[in-house]
Each structure stands twice: as structure tokens, then as C-alpha cells.
Amino acid sequence: MADPTKTATLTFGEKTLELPIHSPTIGPDAVDISKLYAQGDVFTYDPGFTSTAACRSTITFIDGDKGELLHRGYPIDQLAAKSHYLEVCYLLLYGELPTGAQLEDFERRITQHTMLHEQMQHFFRGFRRDAHPMAIMVGVVGAMSAFYHDSTDISDPWQREVASIRLIAKMPTIAAWAFKYHVGQPFVYPRNDLDYASNFMRMCFSVPAEEYEVNPILSRAMDRIFTLHADHEQNASTSTVRLASSSGANPFACIAAGIACLWGPAHGGANQACLEMLKEIGTPDRIPEYIARAKDKNDPFRLMGFGHRVYKNFDPRATVMKESADEVLDLLGVENNPILQVAKELEAAALADPYFAEKKLFPNVDFYSGIILEAMGFPTSMFTPIFAVSRTVGWISQWKEMLIDPEQRIGRPRQLYMGAEMRDYVDVENR
């Protein structure tokens, strides 16, 4: 509720309005402009909604200046170091860390829903053999509403719960099958005796010709990638999910919309852009040249994977991700991979350069996650699908929160119209 002791006075022309102010648990106050048009006959103009709070939320908080990311109040570095992905999923979905019994029950429910309806294989095989995995995921996730009719009624709390479990459980299978289809290998079914991350890796890299053993270091690194990307407040894809759900769309359509938004290179493709930059650099001896270009304001080149649009200090996820990157590279080596050689030396060179320290351009989570996925053997086309697997729980948590928020209504942004004024139609022979 608004703080009755706080108001903002807006004066324009001969009108003066007193606008309520809402105070959050943490972060800046928010001026309530919900009745601005009704009372003042004006809109606000905020491209990108970067100064607009569109909802109340209790899920995630980011302070970019301090480099803080909290899930339900818990710092992300603590969660990534001490917890694991499904426990963080429970926290995001239900608001508190689970007891041992609650976590065991939750993990069991997720594990028992990892298989896809067998007929869904036809959707994968309907795509061209060279289809991008994200294109497949958008189509298949949207099509889930055609198979799971018992979890599309958003007014039913039980159906919302079933849809949530199904999406979190089946998303790794969908992503892994998209990968298998992309590389021309047979689909691998999930196994109930494996944890979430290990199951995903086995579905991606196992083949019928031989047994596949998941290395625990790689599995832990994958689990951390999932954990560190689970939710990130009101970003573009999360806002897309909320906007889609505001119309009453079914949960599978809403999550498919989120995947489509995530596909954009300015959002989910950051770690892919980082790897493409490393490929462009090519060899370690060219690093000084590219660092010099990054410092040149007249050169369009930018170091991808350094700094962050939100975090003005450091990315709190990067420290934990660096630890996993070091473990993975120690395990797999970089001797035969020039991209990873460039990555290691670029990281060292940038961290030692005062220019990057002054500009606070530290390696971010995308830099390290890209290195890890490259070392594991994933093509860059799979980086964003893996991001989608991670972010599914965040989208669902935000979706569920919105549906029970009495203040929410269908999204309908306004515009500053700059087109032609009203004019009469002219018959074609007179134009």
C-alpha cells in the first residue's frame, strides 16, 4: 500500500496532482501514476519502461550499483555455493527454502514428469534438420497445451501447480531433444535415477552405441549455470511472460512467449555473443590488439562478457561461475581448444588492466558460462536453449505471482502518437 505520509506533487499547466508514493522493502520508492490519465489527462513517456514498476513482486531483487541479487532475500552467491538448482526452484516457487522432506517430495515430483508425450516426437521431426534449437523449443513448448489439457485452466490453483511442475521437469528433455535433432542423433529418454543436471547432460551427450557416465564436476557446473540464471527480476522475457499471461493465455503459451523473447541477442544470446567474439580474436597473440580496440571510443568493437547493463559494479553471479569455469578447464584442459586459450588469457589481461578496473568492466556470468558450455562440447546454438531451461522456473514463479495479484489487469501500454492527424480518404483516381 502507499505510504500516506509520502506524496509527489506534479504540476503541469494549470493542473496540480498529488500522487501517492509506494515504499518497497528494499530499493527506491515508486510514484503511483495509475490514475494519472484519469485525473490529469496525460501519459508518462518511458521507452523501455526502465523507470516504471509494472508490478509488485516478492521474488527477486537486484541492486545493480551494489552488485546484489537476492532470491526471496537470499544472496545468489550463497545459493549457488551452498544449494542446488531444484532447491532454488522450490524457493522461487513457494517463497521459503524447503525442509528435507519437502525437498525430497519436490525432487520426486519433478523427476516423475521429465518424459514427454510420445506423440510430441512428431513435432521435432517436422522441423528442418538444420533448424535452430530455439525455434524448436518455441514450437514444442507452445504445443504442450495441445497435449496437457488438464493443466491449462489458470483459474484452478491445482492446474497451475501441475503446469508448473510439468514445465520445469520437461524443459530439459525438450532442450536436449532439440539438440539431438540438431546434430542428427537419436533422442535419449530421461532416467529417474539421475539428478536434474546430470539427466540433462546424459540426454544431450549419450548415444545408444556406448554408456555415458556424467562427470560430477561437469554436472555441478551445469547445475550452477541453471541456478545462476533461474530468475533475474523484471527483465525482457519475464515481462513478456507477464504481459502474455495478463490476457489469460495458458501457461505453455506464456512460457513459449518468454522463450521467443529470450532468443534475442540483446537478452539470452549474450554468452553466445561472447564465444563468437573469442572466435573472432582467434589466437592469444591478438588479445592486445582487441583490448586496444575496446579502449578506443571510435572503434565499434566491444568486449562481450565484460560488464553488465544492470550491474554497475560487479556481477554477483560471476565469482561462483568463475570457480566452476576453472574446475571445468582444469578437468578438460585448454590445450586443444584455441577458443578456451583465448578466453583464459583475455580474462587475465583484462583483470590486470587498470582501464577495465576503473570502468568496472569485470568478466560477467555470460563470459564464464560461455566458456563452460564451450568446454563441455555444446555448440553456441545451444547456449540460449540452456538459458531457457534455467529461466523456466523464474518465468513460472512470476506467472503464478501475477495471477493471484488483485492489482494486475491486462497489459496495455500507451503511446506518444506522432503520426498524421485525421484526414479524409481520397479516391485512387484523384491521388
Active site residues: 308, 366
State how far the alpha carbon of 170 is from the alpha carbons of 60, 110, 195, 225, 393, in Å.
24, 8, 14, 18, 12
- The CA dihedral of 143, 146, 147, 153, to the nearest 10 degrees, is 110
How large is the C-alpha radius of gyration of the chain?
A: 24
Q: Is the separation of the CB atoms in 141 and 168 below 8 Å?
A: no
Q: Which residues contact 349 (CB under 8 A, 6 or more apart)?
A: 287, 288, 291
Residue 246: closest CA among 386, 126, 407, 113: 407
In the three-class reduction of DSSP (H, G, I as helix; E, B as strand; rest coil), residue 70 is classed as strand
- Residue 110 · residue 168 · CB < 8 Å: yes
SS3 of residue 75 by DSSP:
strand
From the centroid of its chain, how far is CA 386? 10
Q: CB-hemisphere CA count at 13 Å for 369?
A: 28
- Please answer whether residues 181 and 124 qualify as being in contact, where contact means their C-beta atoms are separated by less than 8 angstroms: yes
The helix/strand/coil state of 289 is helix
Task: Give the residue among 187, 205, 168, 201 at the shortest CA–CA distance from 123.
Answer: 187
The backbone torsions φ and ψ at residue 119, rounded to the nearest 5 degrees and listed phi first, read -70, -15
Length of the chain: 431
Q: Is 67 left (phi over 0), alpha (psi -120 to 50) or beta?
A: left
> Longest Cα pair distance anywhere in the chain, in angstroms?
79
Look at the block and give the residue holding cell 515430483.
109
Report the Cα–Cα distance between both ends of the chain, in Å, rounded.
Answer: 57
d(CA 362, CA 350): 8
Residue whose C-alpha cell is 521474488 = 59
The conformation of residue 117, written as its DSSP 8-state character, comes to P
What gap in Å lies between CA 114 and CA 191, rounded to an integer?
8
Within 10 Å of residue 291's Cβ, how many Cβ atoms?
A: 19
- Is 60 in a helix, a strand, or coil? strand
